[in-house]
Amino acid sequence: MAFAAALAPIPVVAQDKISFRTPGAPKDLAETLRRASALLAAESEGRNDPQDIFAAAQAEYGALLAALYATGRYAPVIHVKVDGQEAANIPALSVPRSIRQVVVTVESGPVFAFSKAELVPIAPKTKLPSGFAVGKPAETGVIRDAVKVGIDGWRSVGYAKAKPGTQSLVVDVPQAELSAAIALEPGRQLRFGKFMVTGEQRMRPDRIRAIAGFPEGEIFDPEKLTKSSDRLRRTGVFRSVSMIEAEAPNPDGTLNINTTVVENLPRSYGFGGEVSTLDGVNLSAYWVHRNLWGGGERLRFDAAVENVGAQDNGVDYHIGVTLERPATFTPDTTLSYSANAARLDDGDGEIIDLVTAGASLTQFVSDNLTLRAGIELRAQDVTDDSGKYQYYNLALPLGLTYDGRNDKFNPSKGYFVAAGLTPFVGFDQTQSGARVTLDARGYKGFGADAPVVLAGRFQLGSIYGAELIHTPRDYLFYSGGAGTVRGHAYQSLGVYVISPEQQTGGTKFLAISAEIRARVSEKIGVVGFYDAGAVGVDQFIDDPQGGWQSGAGIGLRYLTGFGPIRVDLAAPITGVGGDGVQLYVGIGQAF
Protein backbone atom coordinates (compact mmCIF):
# COMPACT_ATOMS: atom_id res chain seq x y z
CA MET A 1 0.00 0.00 0.00
CA ALA A 2 1.43 3.38 -1.01
CA PHE A 3 0.25 6.79 0.17
CA ALA A 4 1.75 9.92 1.71
CA ALA A 5 1.48 10.73 5.40
CA ALA A 6 0.15 14.06 6.69
CA LEU A 7 2.25 16.63 8.54
CA ALA A 8 1.25 19.40 10.94
CA PRO A 9 -0.84 22.35 9.62
CA ILE A 10 1.15 25.03 7.78
CA PRO A 11 -0.23 28.51 7.00
CA VAL A 12 -0.34 29.65 3.39
CA VAL A 13 -1.65 32.71 1.63
CA ALA A 14 -3.82 32.00 -1.41
CA GLN A 15 -5.48 29.36 -3.54
CA ASP A 16 -6.88 29.42 -7.06
CA LYS A 17 -7.88 25.97 -8.31
CA ILE A 18 -8.51 22.38 -7.21
CA SER A 19 -8.20 19.51 -9.69
CA PHE A 20 -9.55 16.08 -8.66
CA ARG A 21 -8.54 13.03 -10.73
CA THR A 22 -9.52 9.36 -10.37
CA PRO A 23 -7.97 7.57 -13.37
CA GLY A 24 -9.53 4.18 -14.12
CA ALA A 25 -12.07 4.37 -11.29
CA PRO A 26 -15.66 3.25 -11.94
CA LYS A 27 -18.15 6.11 -12.12
CA ASP A 28 -19.83 5.29 -8.81
CA LEU A 29 -16.48 5.06 -7.00
CA ALA A 30 -15.32 8.36 -8.51
CA GLU A 31 -18.49 10.01 -7.22
CA THR A 32 -17.99 8.44 -3.77
CA LEU A 33 -14.44 9.82 -3.60
CA ARG A 34 -15.58 13.28 -4.65
CA ARG A 35 -18.19 13.26 -1.90
CA ALA A 36 -15.53 12.21 0.62
CA SER A 37 -12.98 14.84 -0.47
CA ALA A 38 -12.14 17.40 2.21
CA LEU A 39 -10.76 19.77 -0.45
CA LEU A 40 -13.88 19.69 -2.62
CA ALA A 41 -16.04 20.16 0.47
CA ALA A 42 -14.03 23.26 1.43
CA GLU A 43 -14.36 24.60 -2.10
CA SER A 44 -18.14 24.05 -2.25
CA GLU A 45 -18.61 25.70 1.15
CA GLY A 46 -16.66 28.77 0.04
CA ARG A 47 -13.83 28.25 2.52
CA ASN A 48 -11.13 29.92 0.41
CA ASP A 49 -8.86 31.06 3.22
CA PRO A 50 -5.36 29.63 2.51
CA GLN A 51 -5.12 28.09 5.97
CA ASP A 52 -8.43 26.28 5.45
CA ILE A 53 -7.40 24.99 2.03
CA PHE A 54 -4.04 23.71 3.23
CA ALA A 55 -5.64 22.06 6.26
CA ALA A 56 -8.09 20.37 3.91
CA ALA A 57 -5.19 19.19 1.72
CA GLN A 58 -3.57 17.55 4.74
CA ALA A 59 -6.88 15.92 5.75
CA GLU A 60 -7.47 14.67 2.21
CA TYR A 61 -5.36 11.52 2.64
CA GLY A 62 -7.34 10.22 5.60
CA ALA A 63 -10.72 11.16 4.13
CA LEU A 64 -10.03 9.36 0.87
CA LEU A 65 -8.49 6.33 2.57
CA ALA A 66 -11.62 5.88 4.70
CA ALA A 67 -13.80 6.00 1.59
CA LEU A 68 -11.58 3.50 -0.25
CA TYR A 69 -11.42 1.09 2.69
CA ALA A 70 -15.22 1.22 2.84
CA THR A 71 -15.28 -0.20 -0.70
CA GLY A 72 -12.69 -2.90 0.05
CA ARG A 73 -9.69 -1.18 -1.57
CA TYR A 74 -6.63 -1.46 0.67
CA ALA A 75 -3.79 -0.69 -1.77
CA PRO A 76 -4.49 2.76 -3.17
CA VAL A 77 -2.00 5.39 -4.23
CA ILE A 78 -3.02 8.92 -3.26
CA HIS A 79 -1.24 12.13 -4.22
CA VAL A 80 -2.25 15.59 -3.03
CA LYS A 81 0.07 18.07 -4.72
CA VAL A 82 0.16 21.75 -3.87
CA ASP A 83 1.82 23.58 -6.77
CA GLY A 84 3.56 20.35 -7.70
CA GLN A 85 4.71 19.41 -4.18
CA GLU A 86 3.21 16.58 -2.11
CA ALA A 87 1.25 18.31 0.63
CA ALA A 88 2.50 15.86 3.26
CA ASN A 89 6.13 16.54 2.33
CA ILE A 90 6.16 20.34 2.43
CA PRO A 91 8.54 21.41 5.25
CA ALA A 92 6.96 23.46 7.99
CA LEU A 93 9.16 26.48 7.23
CA SER A 94 9.06 26.22 3.43
CA VAL A 95 5.42 26.74 2.60
CA PRO A 96 4.90 28.78 -0.60
CA ARG A 97 3.42 32.23 -0.03
CA SER A 98 0.79 31.50 -2.69
CA ILE A 99 -0.91 28.35 -3.94
CA ARG A 100 -1.94 28.43 -7.56
CA GLN A 101 -3.22 24.86 -7.90
CA VAL A 102 -3.99 21.76 -5.84
CA VAL A 103 -4.08 18.48 -7.77
CA VAL A 104 -5.53 15.33 -6.19
CA THR A 105 -4.84 12.02 -7.95
CA VAL A 106 -6.30 8.75 -6.66
CA GLU A 107 -5.33 5.34 -8.02
CA SER A 108 -7.90 3.21 -6.23
CA GLY A 109 -6.35 -0.23 -6.74
CA PRO A 110 -8.16 -3.59 -6.72
CA VAL A 111 -11.09 -4.66 -4.55
CA PHE A 112 -9.86 -7.01 -1.81
CA ALA A 113 -11.84 -10.13 -0.90
CA PHE A 114 -12.18 -11.88 2.43
CA SER A 115 -9.80 -14.83 2.70
CA LYS A 116 -11.15 -15.36 6.21
CA ALA A 117 -14.31 -13.97 7.82
CA GLU A 118 -14.62 -15.15 11.40
CA LEU A 119 -16.64 -13.68 14.27
CA VAL A 120 -16.86 -15.85 17.39
CA PRO A 121 -18.69 -16.63 19.53
CA ILE A 122 -22.14 -15.58 18.34
CA ALA A 123 -25.45 -16.06 20.12
CA PRO A 124 -27.93 -18.70 18.93
CA LYS A 125 -30.10 -17.64 15.97
CA THR A 126 -27.77 -14.74 15.12
CA LYS A 127 -27.53 -14.20 11.36
CA LEU A 128 -24.42 -12.32 10.30
CA PRO A 129 -24.51 -10.12 7.18
CA SER A 130 -24.27 -12.18 4.00
CA GLY A 131 -21.39 -9.98 2.86
CA PHE A 132 -19.23 -11.15 5.76
CA ALA A 133 -18.04 -14.34 4.06
CA VAL A 134 -15.00 -15.73 2.27
CA GLY A 135 -14.75 -14.45 -1.29
CA LYS A 136 -16.96 -11.40 -0.70
CA PRO A 137 -15.60 -7.82 -0.99
CA ALA A 138 -13.78 -6.97 2.25
CA GLU A 139 -15.49 -3.64 2.91
CA THR A 140 -14.91 -2.03 6.30
CA GLY A 141 -18.62 -1.30 6.60
CA VAL A 142 -19.38 -5.01 6.32
CA ILE A 143 -16.93 -5.75 9.13
CA ARG A 144 -18.49 -3.08 11.36
CA ASP A 145 -21.99 -4.36 10.58
CA ALA A 146 -21.00 -7.94 11.41
CA VAL A 147 -19.56 -6.89 14.77
CA LYS A 148 -22.70 -4.86 15.57
CA VAL A 149 -24.99 -7.75 14.63
CA GLY A 150 -22.92 -10.10 16.78
CA ILE A 151 -23.08 -7.80 19.80
CA ASP A 152 -26.79 -7.12 19.31
CA GLY A 153 -27.39 -10.86 19.14
CA TRP A 154 -25.81 -11.38 22.56
CA ARG A 155 -27.65 -8.38 24.04
CA SER A 156 -30.99 -9.71 22.78
CA VAL A 157 -30.56 -12.83 24.95
CA GLY A 158 -29.51 -10.97 28.08
CA TYR A 159 -25.78 -10.35 27.69
CA ALA A 160 -26.06 -6.59 28.07
CA LYS A 161 -22.32 -5.92 28.33
CA ALA A 162 -21.22 -7.88 25.25
CA LYS A 163 -18.33 -6.15 23.50
CA PRO A 164 -15.64 -6.73 20.85
CA GLY A 165 -12.56 -8.61 22.02
CA THR A 166 -9.31 -9.26 20.21
CA GLN A 167 -9.22 -8.81 16.47
CA SER A 168 -6.85 -9.70 13.67
CA LEU A 169 -7.12 -7.90 10.33
CA VAL A 170 -4.33 -8.91 7.96
CA VAL A 171 -3.99 -7.48 4.44
CA ASP A 172 -2.32 -9.59 1.75
CA VAL A 173 -1.54 -7.03 -0.97
CA PRO A 174 -0.17 -9.43 -3.65
CA GLN A 175 -3.27 -11.65 -3.36
CA ALA A 176 -5.67 -8.71 -2.83
CA GLU A 177 -7.15 -10.44 0.21
CA LEU A 178 -8.07 -9.52 3.78
CA SER A 179 -8.14 -11.99 6.66
CA ALA A 180 -10.59 -10.92 9.40
CA ALA A 181 -10.75 -12.81 12.70
CA ILE A 182 -12.68 -11.04 15.46
CA ALA A 183 -13.53 -12.30 18.92
CA LEU A 184 -16.55 -11.20 20.95
CA GLU A 185 -16.72 -11.09 24.74
CA PRO A 186 -20.36 -11.74 25.74
CA GLY A 187 -19.79 -11.40 29.49
CA ARG A 188 -22.46 -12.76 31.83
CA GLN A 189 -26.19 -12.91 31.33
CA LEU A 190 -27.89 -10.12 33.29
CA ARG A 191 -31.36 -9.32 34.57
CA PHE A 192 -33.03 -5.94 34.84
CA GLY A 193 -32.24 -4.26 38.13
CA LYS A 194 -33.65 -1.08 39.63
CA PHE A 195 -35.50 1.55 37.60
CA MET A 196 -33.96 4.86 38.65
CA VAL A 197 -35.89 8.01 37.65
CA THR A 198 -34.71 11.63 37.69
CA GLY A 199 -36.03 14.86 36.22
CA GLU A 200 -39.71 14.47 37.09
CA GLN A 201 -41.47 17.63 38.31
CA ARG A 202 -45.25 17.19 38.37
CA MET A 203 -45.37 13.48 37.53
CA ARG A 204 -45.47 11.02 40.44
CA PRO A 205 -42.60 8.46 40.36
CA ASP A 206 -44.98 5.58 41.08
CA ARG A 207 -47.03 6.46 38.01
CA ILE A 208 -43.89 6.76 35.88
CA ARG A 209 -43.01 3.20 36.88
CA ALA A 210 -46.55 1.96 36.26
CA ILE A 211 -46.70 3.52 32.81
CA ALA A 212 -43.23 2.32 31.82
CA GLY A 213 -44.04 -1.24 32.86
CA PHE A 214 -40.36 -1.77 33.58
CA PRO A 215 -39.62 -5.53 33.71
CA GLU A 216 -37.52 -5.54 36.89
CA GLY A 217 -36.03 -8.97 37.58
CA GLU A 218 -36.51 -10.26 34.03
CA ILE A 219 -33.64 -11.21 31.72
CA PHE A 220 -32.23 -8.12 30.02
CA ASP A 221 -33.71 -7.40 26.60
CA PRO A 222 -33.10 -4.09 24.78
CA GLU A 223 -36.49 -4.36 23.06
CA LYS A 224 -38.24 -4.32 26.44
CA LEU A 225 -36.23 -1.24 27.35
CA THR A 226 -37.33 0.48 24.14
CA LYS A 227 -40.94 -0.49 24.83
CA SER A 228 -40.82 1.06 28.30
CA SER A 229 -39.42 4.25 26.84
CA ASP A 230 -42.10 4.35 24.14
CA ARG A 231 -44.86 3.95 26.72
CA LEU A 232 -43.66 7.03 28.57
CA ARG A 233 -43.42 9.08 25.37
CA ARG A 234 -46.89 7.96 24.29
CA THR A 235 -48.50 9.79 27.22
CA GLY A 236 -47.43 13.18 25.85
CA VAL A 237 -46.34 14.20 29.36
CA PHE A 238 -42.64 14.13 28.51
CA ARG A 239 -40.65 16.16 26.03
CA SER A 240 -37.81 13.64 26.22
CA VAL A 241 -37.13 10.26 27.81
CA SER A 242 -33.59 8.89 28.11
CA MET A 243 -32.84 5.41 29.45
CA ILE A 244 -29.17 4.65 30.08
CA GLU A 245 -27.79 1.34 31.29
CA ALA A 246 -25.53 1.45 34.33
CA GLU A 247 -21.87 1.11 33.39
CA ALA A 248 -21.36 -1.92 35.61
CA PRO A 249 -23.78 -4.65 36.69
CA ASN A 250 -24.61 -5.28 40.33
CA PRO A 251 -22.98 -8.20 42.16
CA ASP A 252 -26.29 -10.11 42.03
CA GLY A 253 -26.29 -10.11 38.22
CA THR A 254 -28.75 -7.26 37.75
CA LEU A 255 -28.30 -4.09 35.74
CA ASN A 256 -29.83 -0.82 36.87
CA ILE A 257 -31.42 1.52 34.34
CA ASN A 258 -31.04 5.26 34.87
CA THR A 259 -34.00 7.11 33.36
CA THR A 260 -34.02 10.87 32.86
CA VAL A 261 -37.26 12.57 31.87
CA VAL A 262 -38.02 16.14 30.83
CA GLU A 263 -41.66 17.10 31.17
CA ASN A 264 -43.66 19.09 28.65
CA LEU A 265 -45.64 22.11 29.73
CA PRO A 266 -48.85 20.63 31.14
CA ARG A 267 -51.27 22.69 29.06
CA SER A 268 -51.52 23.31 25.34
CA TYR A 269 -54.07 24.33 22.75
CA GLY A 270 -54.40 24.26 18.99
CA PHE A 271 -56.50 25.26 16.02
CA GLY A 272 -57.24 23.77 12.62
CA GLY A 273 -59.16 24.61 9.51
CA GLU A 274 -60.13 23.56 5.99
CA VAL A 275 -61.71 25.56 3.18
CA SER A 276 -63.85 24.39 0.27
CA THR A 277 -65.79 26.51 -2.19
CA LEU A 278 -68.72 24.08 -2.00
CA ASP A 279 -68.55 22.83 1.60
CA GLY A 280 -67.53 26.12 3.20
CA VAL A 281 -65.14 26.52 6.11
CA ASN A 282 -64.41 23.92 8.80
CA LEU A 283 -62.84 25.23 12.01
CA SER A 284 -61.67 23.24 15.03
CA ALA A 285 -59.92 23.97 18.31
CA TYR A 286 -58.77 22.02 21.34
CA TRP A 287 -57.37 22.58 24.83
CA VAL A 288 -55.52 19.82 26.64
CA HIS A 289 -54.01 19.23 30.08
CA ARG A 290 -51.44 16.43 29.80
CA ASN A 291 -50.99 15.65 33.49
CA LEU A 292 -54.13 16.56 35.39
CA TRP A 293 -53.47 14.84 38.75
CA GLY A 294 -49.80 13.94 38.44
CA GLY A 295 -50.42 10.48 37.05
CA GLY A 296 -50.39 11.19 33.32
CA GLU A 297 -54.15 11.78 33.18
CA ARG A 298 -55.04 13.65 29.99
CA LEU A 299 -58.01 16.03 29.92
CA ARG A 300 -59.00 17.36 26.50
CA PHE A 301 -61.76 19.67 25.29
CA ASP A 302 -62.62 19.80 21.58
CA ALA A 303 -64.88 22.12 19.64
CA ALA A 304 -65.64 22.33 15.94
CA VAL A 305 -67.82 24.32 13.57
CA GLU A 306 -68.25 22.85 10.09
CA ASN A 307 -69.79 23.85 6.77
CA VAL A 308 -69.76 27.58 7.52
CA GLY A 309 -70.87 29.25 4.29
CA ALA A 310 -71.56 25.92 2.55
CA GLN A 311 -73.77 26.12 -0.53
CA ASP A 312 -75.96 23.09 0.17
CA ASN A 313 -75.49 22.33 3.89
CA GLY A 314 -76.31 23.89 7.22
CA VAL A 315 -73.73 24.59 9.91
CA ASP A 316 -72.69 21.70 12.16
CA TYR A 317 -71.49 22.16 15.75
CA HIS A 318 -69.51 19.73 17.90
CA ILE A 319 -68.22 19.95 21.46
CA GLY A 320 -66.63 17.19 23.51
CA VAL A 321 -64.53 16.36 26.52
CA THR A 322 -62.28 13.32 27.05
CA LEU A 323 -60.39 12.14 30.12
CA GLU A 324 -57.72 9.46 29.61
CA ARG A 325 -55.72 7.50 32.15
CA PRO A 326 -52.75 5.52 30.79
CA ALA A 327 -51.53 2.27 32.35
CA THR A 328 -54.90 1.13 33.67
CA PHE A 329 -54.92 -2.63 34.33
CA THR A 330 -51.77 -3.07 32.18
CA PRO A 331 -48.98 -0.70 31.02
CA ASP A 332 -50.42 -0.84 27.49
CA THR A 333 -54.07 -0.16 28.39
CA THR A 334 -55.59 3.31 28.46
CA LEU A 335 -58.96 3.99 30.12
CA SER A 336 -61.01 6.83 28.62
CA TYR A 337 -64.20 8.64 29.58
CA SER A 338 -65.91 10.91 27.09
CA ALA A 339 -68.98 13.08 26.63
CA ASN A 340 -70.02 14.79 23.41
CA ALA A 341 -72.79 16.99 22.08
CA ALA A 342 -73.47 17.95 18.48
CA ARG A 343 -75.97 19.64 16.20
CA LEU A 344 -75.93 18.39 12.60
CA ASP A 345 -77.80 20.35 9.93
CA ASP A 346 -77.85 18.92 6.41
CA GLY A 347 -79.32 22.14 4.98
CA ASP A 348 -82.23 20.18 3.51
CA GLY A 349 -84.54 20.22 6.51
CA GLU A 350 -82.90 17.54 8.68
CA ILE A 351 -81.50 18.69 12.03
CA ILE A 352 -79.98 16.20 14.49
CA ASP A 353 -79.30 17.08 18.13
CA LEU A 354 -77.03 14.40 19.58
CA VAL A 355 -75.66 13.69 23.06
CA THR A 356 -73.35 10.78 23.96
CA ALA A 357 -71.46 9.64 27.05
CA GLY A 358 -69.26 6.60 27.41
CA ALA A 359 -66.12 4.85 28.52
CA SER A 360 -63.59 2.77 26.63
CA LEU A 361 -60.38 0.78 26.92
CA THR A 362 -57.62 1.11 24.32
CA GLN A 363 -55.02 -1.65 24.10
CA PHE A 364 -51.71 -0.87 22.38
CA VAL A 365 -50.80 -4.33 21.14
CA SER A 366 -47.71 -3.19 19.21
CA ASP A 367 -46.27 -0.08 17.61
CA ASN A 368 -48.68 -0.61 14.72
CA LEU A 369 -51.73 -2.39 16.15
CA THR A 370 -54.31 -0.84 18.48
CA LEU A 371 -57.55 -2.39 19.77
CA ARG A 372 -60.46 -0.54 21.33
CA ALA A 373 -63.62 -1.58 23.19
CA GLY A 374 -66.15 0.61 24.91
CA ILE A 375 -69.68 1.27 26.06
CA GLU A 376 -71.71 4.33 25.13
CA LEU A 377 -75.13 5.78 25.93
CA ARG A 378 -76.61 7.81 23.08
CA ALA A 379 -79.65 10.05 22.65
CA GLN A 380 -80.70 12.15 19.67
CA ASP A 381 -83.63 14.25 18.53
CA VAL A 382 -84.23 14.52 14.81
CA THR A 383 -86.40 17.04 13.02
CA ASP A 384 -86.96 16.87 9.26
CA ASP A 385 -89.65 17.59 6.70
CA SER A 386 -91.41 14.33 7.51
CA GLY A 387 -91.71 14.90 11.26
CA LYS A 388 -89.84 14.46 14.54
CA TYR A 389 -87.98 11.36 15.73
CA GLN A 390 -86.16 10.33 18.88
CA TYR A 391 -83.46 7.68 19.07
CA TYR A 392 -82.04 6.14 22.26
CA ASN A 393 -79.54 3.31 22.28
CA LEU A 394 -76.74 1.62 24.17
CA ALA A 395 -73.71 0.90 21.97
CA LEU A 396 -70.66 -1.33 22.40
CA PRO A 397 -68.10 0.14 19.96
CA LEU A 398 -65.25 -2.20 19.04
CA GLY A 399 -62.36 -1.09 16.88
CA LEU A 400 -59.08 -2.20 15.36
CA THR A 401 -56.43 0.06 13.83
CA TYR A 402 -53.28 -1.09 12.05
CA ASP A 403 -50.95 1.67 10.92
CA GLY A 404 -48.07 0.39 8.79
CA ARG A 405 -47.32 3.68 7.02
CA ASN A 406 -43.78 5.02 6.96
CA ASP A 407 -45.07 8.57 7.62
CA LYS A 408 -48.43 9.51 9.09
CA PHE A 409 -48.57 12.91 7.37
CA ASN A 410 -47.01 12.16 3.97
CA PRO A 411 -46.71 8.38 3.46
CA SER A 412 -44.85 6.86 0.53
CA LYS A 413 -45.20 3.19 1.43
CA GLY A 414 -47.14 0.86 3.69
CA TYR A 415 -50.81 0.62 4.51
CA PHE A 416 -53.42 1.67 7.06
CA VAL A 417 -56.53 -0.21 8.15
CA ALA A 418 -59.24 0.91 10.56
CA ALA A 419 -62.14 -1.46 11.17
CA GLY A 420 -65.10 -0.95 13.46
CA LEU A 421 -67.96 -3.10 14.74
CA THR A 422 -70.60 -1.42 16.92
CA PRO A 423 -73.43 -3.62 18.19
CA PHE A 424 -76.22 -1.46 19.61
CA VAL A 425 -79.36 -2.07 21.65
CA GLY A 426 -82.23 0.25 20.83
CA PHE A 427 -84.87 1.58 23.20
CA ASP A 428 -88.42 2.71 22.46
CA GLN A 429 -88.70 3.12 18.65
CA THR A 430 -84.99 2.53 18.05
CA GLN A 431 -84.25 -0.97 16.79
CA SER A 432 -81.22 -3.06 17.72
CA GLY A 433 -78.51 -3.97 15.26
CA ALA A 434 -74.86 -3.49 14.38
CA ARG A 435 -72.83 -0.91 12.48
CA VAL A 436 -69.76 -2.07 10.51
CA THR A 437 -67.11 0.23 9.02
CA LEU A 438 -63.84 -0.27 7.16
CA ASP A 439 -61.23 2.26 6.02
CA ALA A 440 -58.25 0.73 4.16
CA ARG A 441 -55.44 2.75 2.56
CA GLY A 442 -52.32 1.67 0.68
CA TYR A 443 -49.24 3.49 -0.61
CA LYS A 444 -46.54 2.49 -3.09
CA GLY A 445 -43.55 4.70 -3.88
CA PHE A 446 -41.35 4.46 -6.97
CA GLY A 447 -37.74 5.51 -7.45
CA ALA A 448 -35.08 6.64 -5.00
CA ASP A 449 -36.69 8.64 -2.17
CA ALA A 450 -40.10 7.86 -3.77
CA PRO A 451 -40.66 11.00 -5.87
CA VAL A 452 -43.76 9.29 -7.31
CA VAL A 453 -46.34 7.64 -5.04
CA LEU A 454 -49.52 5.75 -5.90
CA ALA A 455 -52.11 5.97 -3.13
CA GLY A 456 -55.44 4.19 -2.85
CA ARG A 457 -58.31 4.18 -0.38
CA PHE A 458 -61.31 1.90 0.09
CA GLN A 459 -64.18 2.72 2.48
CA LEU A 460 -67.14 0.56 3.38
CA GLY A 461 -70.04 0.88 5.80
CA SER A 462 -73.14 -1.15 6.59
CA ILE A 463 -76.00 -1.39 9.07
CA TYR A 464 -77.28 -4.85 9.98
CA GLY A 465 -80.43 -5.81 11.89
CA ALA A 466 -82.20 -2.42 12.02
CA GLU A 467 -84.48 -0.78 9.46
CA LEU A 468 -83.33 2.59 8.19
CA ILE A 469 -86.13 4.60 9.79
CA HIS A 470 -85.45 2.95 13.17
CA THR A 471 -81.65 3.43 13.01
CA PRO A 472 -79.97 6.41 14.75
CA ARG A 473 -79.49 9.00 12.00
CA ASP A 474 -75.80 9.66 12.67
CA TYR A 475 -75.14 5.92 12.12
CA LEU A 476 -76.30 6.22 8.49
CA PHE A 477 -73.92 6.78 5.58
CA TYR A 478 -73.59 9.56 3.01
CA SER A 479 -71.20 10.24 0.14
CA GLY A 480 -69.75 13.53 -1.05
CA GLY A 481 -67.16 16.00 0.18
CA ALA A 482 -63.44 16.03 0.94
CA GLY A 483 -63.51 12.76 2.90
CA THR A 484 -65.27 10.69 0.24
CA VAL A 485 -65.87 12.20 -3.22
CA ARG A 486 -64.27 15.54 -4.03
CA GLY A 487 -66.10 17.69 -6.56
CA HIS A 488 -69.45 16.96 -4.87
CA ALA A 489 -71.04 18.73 -1.92
CA TYR A 490 -70.61 17.33 1.58
CA GLN A 491 -73.09 14.48 2.19
CA SER A 492 -74.82 15.26 -1.10
CA LEU A 493 -75.61 11.62 -1.92
CA GLY A 494 -78.03 9.73 0.30
CA VAL A 495 -81.36 7.95 -0.10
CA TYR A 496 -85.04 8.93 -0.07
CA VAL A 497 -86.75 6.26 2.01
CA ILE A 498 -88.56 8.11 4.79
CA SER A 499 -90.24 10.44 2.29
CA PRO A 500 -89.77 11.47 -1.36
CA GLU A 501 -88.65 14.96 -0.24
CA GLN A 502 -86.41 14.05 2.70
CA GLN A 503 -82.92 12.68 2.07
CA THR A 504 -81.18 10.64 4.76
CA GLY A 505 -78.07 8.55 4.85
CA GLY A 506 -78.20 4.97 3.64
CA THR A 507 -77.52 1.70 5.38
CA LYS A 508 -74.94 0.65 2.77
CA PHE A 509 -71.92 2.69 1.70
CA LEU A 510 -68.93 2.17 -0.56
CA ALA A 511 -66.20 4.61 -1.67
CA ILE A 512 -62.91 4.38 -3.53
CA SER A 513 -60.17 6.95 -4.09
CA ALA A 514 -57.00 6.83 -6.16
CA GLU A 515 -54.17 9.37 -6.31
CA ILE A 516 -50.86 9.71 -8.09
CA ARG A 517 -48.53 12.02 -6.17
CA ALA A 518 -45.36 13.41 -7.74
CA ARG A 519 -42.72 15.53 -6.06
CA VAL A 520 -41.35 18.03 -8.59
CA SER A 521 -38.95 19.82 -6.21
CA GLU A 522 -37.84 19.69 -2.61
CA LYS A 523 -40.91 21.63 -1.46
CA ILE A 524 -43.49 21.25 -4.25
CA GLY A 525 -45.62 18.27 -5.23
CA VAL A 526 -48.50 17.75 -7.65
CA VAL A 527 -51.40 15.29 -7.42
CA GLY A 528 -53.98 13.81 -9.77
CA PHE A 529 -56.97 12.01 -8.22
CA TYR A 530 -60.24 10.20 -8.85
CA ASP A 531 -62.97 9.52 -6.25
CA ALA A 532 -66.20 7.54 -6.43
CA GLY A 533 -68.87 6.69 -3.87
CA ALA A 534 -72.15 4.77 -3.64
CA VAL A 535 -74.96 4.79 -1.08
CA GLY A 536 -77.80 2.28 -0.85
CA VAL A 537 -80.30 0.58 1.42
CA ASP A 538 -80.29 -3.12 0.57
CA GLN A 539 -77.08 -3.45 -1.41
CA PHE A 540 -73.82 -1.60 -1.92
CA ILE A 541 -73.88 -1.25 -5.72
CA ASP A 542 -76.77 -0.54 -8.09
CA ASP A 543 -79.30 -0.22 -5.29
CA PRO A 544 -82.57 1.08 -6.82
CA GLN A 545 -83.04 3.37 -3.81
CA GLY A 546 -79.46 4.68 -3.91
CA GLY A 547 -76.92 5.84 -6.44
CA TRP A 548 -73.34 6.55 -7.50
CA GLN A 549 -71.29 9.73 -7.76
CA SER A 550 -67.72 10.39 -8.88
CA GLY A 551 -65.28 13.25 -9.20
CA ALA A 552 -61.72 13.93 -10.31
CA GLY A 553 -59.17 16.69 -10.17
CA ILE A 554 -55.64 17.90 -9.64
CA GLY A 555 -53.85 19.28 -6.62
CA LEU A 556 -50.77 21.10 -5.38
CA ARG A 557 -48.77 20.20 -2.28
CA TYR A 558 -46.36 22.47 -0.42
CA LEU A 559 -44.22 20.18 1.71
CA THR A 560 -43.48 21.31 5.27
CA GLY A 561 -42.08 19.71 8.40
CA PHE A 562 -45.57 19.19 9.84
CA GLY A 563 -47.05 17.70 6.68
CA PRO A 564 -48.01 19.02 3.24
CA ILE A 565 -50.29 22.00 2.77
CA ARG A 566 -52.97 20.73 0.41
CA VAL A 567 -54.75 22.63 -2.37
CA ASP A 568 -57.09 20.57 -4.58
CA LEU A 569 -59.29 21.49 -7.53
CA ALA A 570 -62.02 18.91 -8.22
CA ALA A 571 -64.93 18.63 -10.63
CA PRO A 572 -67.90 16.23 -10.61
CA ILE A 573 -67.98 13.52 -13.26
CA THR A 574 -71.18 11.59 -12.53
CA GLY A 575 -73.98 11.68 -9.99
CA VAL A 576 -75.84 14.29 -7.95
CA GLY A 577 -74.27 16.91 -5.71
CA GLY A 578 -71.83 18.52 -8.13
CA ASP A 579 -71.76 22.20 -9.03
CA GLY A 580 -68.71 22.97 -11.16
CA VAL A 581 -65.06 23.05 -10.13
CA GLN A 582 -64.49 23.10 -6.37
CA LEU A 583 -61.49 24.24 -4.31
CA TYR A 584 -60.26 22.39 -1.21
CA VAL A 585 -57.53 23.70 1.11
CA GLY A 586 -56.17 21.85 4.14
CA ILE A 587 -53.13 20.42 5.92
CA GLY A 588 -51.95 16.88 5.24
CA GLN A 589 -52.62 14.58 2.33
CA ALA A 590 -56.25 13.86 1.50
CA PHE A 591 -55.73 10.38 2.99
Contact assessment for residue 552 and residue 573, using Cβ atoms and an 8 Å cutoff: yes
Q: Which of 69-83, 130-144, 225-239, 487-501 has the weakest average pLDDT?
A: 487-501
513, 520, 408, 441 alpha-carbon torsion, rounded to 10°: 20
Closest by CA to 259, choosing from 221, 230, 298, 295, is 230
- What letter represents residue 212's amino acid? A
Task: Look up residue 164 and give its DSSP letter.
Answer: E
pLDDT tens, position by position, 201-245: 999 999 999 999 999 999 999 999 999 999 999 999 999 999 999
| The predicted structure's pLDDT at residue 277 | 79
Pick the CATH number of 191-263 from 3.10.20.310, 1.20.120.450, 3.40.50.880, 1.20.1560.10: 3.10.20.310
- Kindly report whether the global pTM for this prediction surpasses the value 0.85: no
Give the burial string for 340-355 (b: 16+ CB within 10 Å, else e). bebebbbbbebbbbbe
Domain ranges in the chain?
2-107, 113-185, 191-263, 329-337+345-587
| The predicted structure's pLDDT at residue 68 | 97
Pick the CATH number of 113-185 from 1.10.10.10, 3.40.50.920, 1.10.357.10, 3.10.20.310: 3.10.20.310
3-state helix, strand, coil in the chain (%, to 5): 15, 50, 40
| The predicted structure's pLDDT at residue 578 | 74
In angstroms, what CA-CA distances link 170 with 108, 175, 177, 181? Answer: 19, 12, 8, 9
Average pLDDT over residues 317-340: 98
pLDDT tens, position by position, 541-564: 877 888 999 999 999 999 998 889
Q: How far apart are CA 68 and CA 70, in angstroms?
A: 5
pLDDT tens, position by position, 293-302: 999 999 999 9
Of all residues in the chain, what percent carry a pLDDT higher than 90? 79
Residue 87: left (phi > 0), alpha (psi -120 to 50), or beta? alpha
Average pLDDT over residues 266-283: 88
Q: Which CATH architecture best describes the domain 329-337+345-587?
A: Beta Barrel (2.40)
| The predicted structure's pLDDT at residue 96 | 63
Contact assessment for residue 419 and residue 476, using Cβ atoms and an 8 Å cutoff: no
Under the banding of pLDDT at 50, 70 and 90, the label for residue 95 is low
pLDDT tens, position by position, 40-64: 999 888 887 777 888 899 999 999 9
Under the banding of pLDDT at 50, 70 and 90, the label for residue 183 is very high
Closest by CA to 319, choosing from 310, 306, 307, is 306
CA 221, chain centre distance (Å): 24
Residues contacting residue 376 through CB under 8 Å, at least 6 positions apart: 356, 357, 358, 360, 394, 395, 396, 397
Identical fold, 113-185 and 191-263 = yes
- DSSP secondary structure of 319-356: EEEEEEESSSSSTTEEEEEEEEEEEEE-SSS-EEEEEE
Statement: residue 6 has pLDDT above 60: no
